[in-house]
Amino acid sequence: MRPARVPVRRGPHDAAPRVTIAALMTVGSAVAAGSMAVARRLRAGRAGGVIVTQHVASALQTRAQVNALRRWFDFIHHDELLDRLERPGRRPFCLLTFDDGKRSIATQTAPELERLGVPAVFYVTTGFLTDGSPLWFDRREAIIKSLGHVPPGLEIDDLKRLSLEVIHDRLDRACAGHRLVLDLTSDDVLPMSWDDARALARRGFTIAAHGVHHCVLTRETETRAFCEIRQSIEDVTSRIGVPCASFAFPNGNYTPRLARHALECGVRTVMTTEPAWADGRYPCWRLPRVELFGRDTTLKVALKLSAAATGRLLANPDGTGRRYWRTDRFGRHDATSLP
């Protein structure tokens, strides 16, 4: 007769069974693979791929995301984009883009991309590179960090509905009212130099335009918005020494008239932040991009990109939610067909 099993009682200091990090990573990888398999089924038979947008990423974060993305995509150069939108490849493409032109892009992100053999587009805010003045949203973050809370009037959704002049006025009054001296010395805040940008271009990266002052262009007068677009494209062309090939709307907000103006200024592609996969049904003046962050895990990247494959699940970070998928975007392939 077998002796009865005596239950083991754990004391308050005994360790409970642990789920290992390796087991969690295995589960995460399986879920990521399943999510991307769903995305591929949703996209079966179509050309295209994803255009990813980021702002800053350390070398370690860059390497991790490249290793994740290359499981499912072929990385392409901007010069290949228009062709790949129309012609299916063996696998979908991925075009990496980074907005604003922070110094850490030149010191951290680009060297790692170069080591990995991955091309990218760096959209630079040209006035930022020229005079070094911090971008308004970095000033806002520094104020919040100093105070430990968001002061009234600096809620991000409210600021994005204002002109740049009003935004800076609010930031100035917050600094004066709280007697703040802001720390804006991080490489994730400071701009790269134009020498940095030229060096990146010589190494095969694409330098493109992202406005002069990072205004939300739909909140400015049309005259001011047109000037921001034209001047930033001209700045990139003159400073880099080759025609500027692309323009990305700051914060993603755009109108067809603004997009037409960018094309008339000579660029071949215009980027938004509409979070969907890109293919030939999207015109070159309204190319979608899916926003990732350096801290995103492989699982989160896969979930975002699989949701983007539906063309309607993710909210647009420009503040317009999911309205983008209701807009007629198909069948318009050139500037003459803009509404």
β-pairing, 246-248 vs 121-124, is unpaired
The pLDDT of residue 298 is above 80? yes
Burial level of 313, CB count in 10 A (0-12/13-18/19+)? middle
> Do residue 248 and residue 314 come from a single domain?
yes
Which amino acid is it at 1?
A: M
Q: What is the pLDDT of residues 193-222, one digit of tens each?
A: 999 999 999 999 999 999 999 999 999 999
> Do residue 110 and residue 204 come from a single domain?
yes
Q: Tell whether 227 is covered by a domain.
A: yes
Rounded to 10 degrees, the C-alpha dihedral 122/66/251/180 comes to: -90
Find out whether 306 and 39 touch, Cβ atoms under 8 Å.
Answer: yes
Domain that holds residue 57: 43-132+192-324
Phi and psi of 13, rounded to 5°? Answer: -105, 0
| Residue 169 CA to its chain's centroid (Å) | 27
Q: Tell whether 211 is covered by a domain.
A: yes
Q: Which residue has the tokens 């100035």?
A: 172
Query: How does residue 180 score in pLDDT terms, banded at 50, 70 and 90?
Result: very high
> Do residue 149 and residue 123 come from a single domain?
no
Percent of the chain with pLDDT over 70: 82
Give the residue, 243 or 280, on which the prediction is more confident: 243
Q: Which residue has the tokens 């034209």?
A: 230
Q: Tell whether 338 is covered by a domain.
A: no
> Do residue 114 and residue 141 come from a single domain?
no
> Do residue 144 and residue 122 come from a single domain?
no
The pLDDT of residue 28 is above 80? no
Number of domains observed in the structure of the chain:
2
| Residue 33: other Cβ atoms inside 10 A | 15
> Do residue 126 and residue 143 come from a single domain?
no
Longest dimension (CA), the chain: 93
Query: Could you tell me which of 301, 325, 300, 303 has the C-alpha nearest to residue 312?
Result: 325
Q: Tell whether 254 is covered by a domain.
A: yes
* Ramachandran category for residue 163: left, alpha or beta (phi over 0 → left; psi -120 to 50 → alpha): beta
Q: Which residue has the tokens 């053999």?
A: 117
> Do residue 105 and residue 166 come from a single domain?
no
| Residue 36 CA to its chain's centroid (Å) | 20
> Do residue 308 and residue 215 come from a single domain?
yes
Query: How does residue 154 score in pLDDT terms, banded at 50, 70 and 90?
Result: very high
Q: Is the pTM of this model over 0.75?
A: yes
Q: What is the pLDDT of residues 224-251, one digit of tens each?
A: 999 999 999 999 999 999 999 999 999 9
Average pLDDT value for the chain: 87
The pLDDT of residue 27 is above 50? no
> Do residue 61 and residue 94 come from a single domain?
yes
User: Which residue, 183, 215, 247, sits at the end of a domain?
Assistant: 183
